[in-house]
Each structure stands twice: as structure tokens, then as C-alpha cells.
A = this chain, B = another copy of it.
Amino acid sequence: MICPFCRYEDSRVIDSRPSDEGSSIRRRRECTQCGSRFSTSETAVLSIIKRSGATEPFSREKVINGVRKACQNRPVDDDDLALLAMRVEEALRSTGQAEIEAQEVGMAILPPLRELDEVAYLRYASVYRNFSSLEDFEGEIALLRALPIEKSEIESESQVASPQLK
């Protein structure tokens, strides 16, 4: 690991802690050469395959930007959006795939967005699922009425899995 101070190529780990409930490891390193210290973070890779076929790292920011438009004039603040993006990331990581289709990201946004704000959810779904008529809206609304909000799979799953965690 290159030292960001002197660019020497080698450094040793001084301290190491799991962080983010174990989904990443934070290390404190010391440059073998100049002795300066810096922090690093190790995270599971999560790449998104765009429709063009190109692949890029998952970005919470992009999720937020996509959803923000749907939240205009709605009681949704940046913290809500940040939390939503976190949940989406969680959901995607828990599928286990290292590479995920961009469309899957769109899908993963739906459940937590519904929990956050049903109006924003409708707007978002109308774009994402290509609503073409008033009936499409009505259909979705009927669905919303019929299906009670369920805790998104991520959470229910993690409740099953979590007993194994300390």
C-alpha cells in the first residue's frame, strides 16, 4: 500500500478494526519509509453493469440523485436519502453478486422508497417501470393499498442471519 505522504510502496498495519458492523475493515498503517501514518478501509467490491455493458463501482450518490428528483416538495431530507441509499447498498450486497445490473439497483430502490414516501415511490415507479397511462398509476395504487408495507427483505433476512453475529 503506497504511502500517501512520500509515495513509498510499503507500509505496515498498526491497528485494525472491523467497522460498519463488520462490512468493512478499517486499518491504521505506518509507512515503512517516512514513518507517517494513514488510515485505509477494506470493502467488498460492488460493481454495477450499466446498460452499455460498461461496469462501474456502486455509488450511493447516484442512487440519491436518482431518487432526489422523485422527492421534490416531499418531506424527505438528505438524511433520509442517505439512509435509503445505505439500505439499497445493503440489499445489493446481501445478494452476494460482485456485479449487478443497473436495473437491479432500480428494483432495490423501490421497497425502501415506499417506506420513506409513497408519493415519491409512485413518481419513481412511474419512470422506472415506464408507466404509460393513468391506468398504470391506478393499478400501482391498488397494489399499494392491497399490500401492507412489509419490512424490506434485507431487514427480515438480516434478522434471521444476525443471531450468528456477536
Contacts and interface: CB of A to CB of B under 8 A. Distances in A.
Interface residues of A, number: 42
Interface string A91-115: 0011110100000000000000000
A98 B27 contact: no
A120 to B, nearest CB: 23
A7 B39 contact: no
Residue from the set A4, A61, A98, A158 with the largest chain B CB neighbour count within 10 Å: A4
Contacts of A98: 38-39
Copies held by the complex: 2
Nearest to A96: B5
Contacts of A26: 45
Interface stretch (A15-23, A67-75, A143-151): A15-23
A127 interface: no
Contacts of A45: 26, 38-41
Contacts of A38: 44-45, 96, 98
